[in-house]
């Protein structure tokens, strides 16, 4: 067990978090990562014809049926994401109304847009309840991080240009960006994302001040992932 600020915050044994990898379902991978002591994260599903609210609800129910460990979920809050506002309204209500999901769902990661979209009366009601949910947002630049310091989020997922599916505004590597954010925003809990897939990579992130790493590509290769072998 490695104890960090993030492992204590999320009540996990290992400082390893699964990156959400939409548009596909990741409920089996979420269970596997959480069962192994990390934090599994459900993806924001956007496959054609899918009702994303109902699918996320079904996936959350699947997770709590197959593990009693903590887990999280992702909402891509881009303006061009048609269901983002719907998920931001509906998912807090779903969590609040299911005691088992409420107990185990400890992490929300917003990405690809503004974290402010999630701030509505339903999310505030969830936060004011006995829920332990923590809100992180993907930060690809120091400037964005500085804007978000007082926004109400609990931490950053600092992601350089190695992170699959994310745009680095400065075209900067996670190695450099992580050090910049730690230097200028030293009190913000940080998850490092992009380019991590080994124990050595985890050790380097912790040495630079991150409390955990977020891995996506490495988990694609796992047997629990629904992605095609190719």
Residue 14 is predicted with a pLDDT of: 94
Residue 168 is predicted with a pLDDT of: 62
pLDDT in tens, 10-33: 999 999 999 887 767 788 888 999
Give the closest residue to 32 by CA, choosing from 47, 22, 42, 46. Answer: 42
Q: Which fold has domain 5-220?
A: TIM Barrel (3.20.20)
Give the closest residue to 92 by CA, choosing from 48, 49, 137, 122. Answer: 122
Residue 3 is predicted with a pLDDT of: 87
Residue 91 is predicted with a pLDDT of: 86
Residue 59 is predicted with a pLDDT of: 86
Q: Which ranges of the chain have pLDDT less than 50? A: none
Residue 46 is predicted with a pLDDT of: 66
Domain-wise residue ranges, the chain: 5-220
Tokens found for residue 82: 């048609």
Residue 111 is predicted with a pLDDT of: 79
Residue 32 is predicted with a pLDDT of: 92
Q: Counting Cβ atoms within 10 Å, is residue 168 exposed (0-12), middle (13-18) or buried (19+)? A: middle
């Amino acid at each position: 067990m490695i104890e960090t600020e993030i492992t204590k915050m999320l009540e996990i044994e290992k400082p390893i978090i699964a990156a959400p990898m939409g548009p596909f379902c990741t409920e089996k991978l979420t269970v596997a990562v959480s069962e192994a002591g990390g934090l599994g994260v459900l993806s924001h599903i956007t496959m054609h014809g899918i009702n994303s609210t109902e699918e996320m609800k079904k996936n959350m129910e699947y997770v709590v049926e197959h593990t009693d460990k903590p887990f999280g979920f992702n909402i891509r809050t881009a303006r061009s994401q048609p269901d983002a506002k719907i998920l931001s309204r509906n998912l807090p209500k779903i969590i609040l109304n299911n005691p088992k999901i409420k107990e185990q769902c400890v992490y929300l990661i917003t990405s690809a847009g503004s974290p402010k979209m999630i701030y509505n009366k339903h999310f505030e009601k969830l936060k004011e309840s006995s829920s332990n949910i923590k809100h992180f947002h993907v930060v690809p630049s120091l400037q964005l991080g500085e804007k978000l310091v007082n926004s109400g989020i609990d931490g950053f997922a600092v992601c350089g240009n190695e992170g699959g599916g994310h745009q680095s505004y400065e075209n900067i590597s996670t190695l450099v960006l992580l050090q910049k954010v730690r230097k200028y925003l030293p009190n913000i809990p940080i998850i490092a994302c992009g380019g991590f897939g080994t124990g050595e990579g985890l050790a380097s992130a912790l040495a630079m001040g991150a409390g955990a790493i977020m891995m996506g590509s490495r988990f694609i290769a796992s047997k629990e992932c629904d992605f095609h072998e190719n």
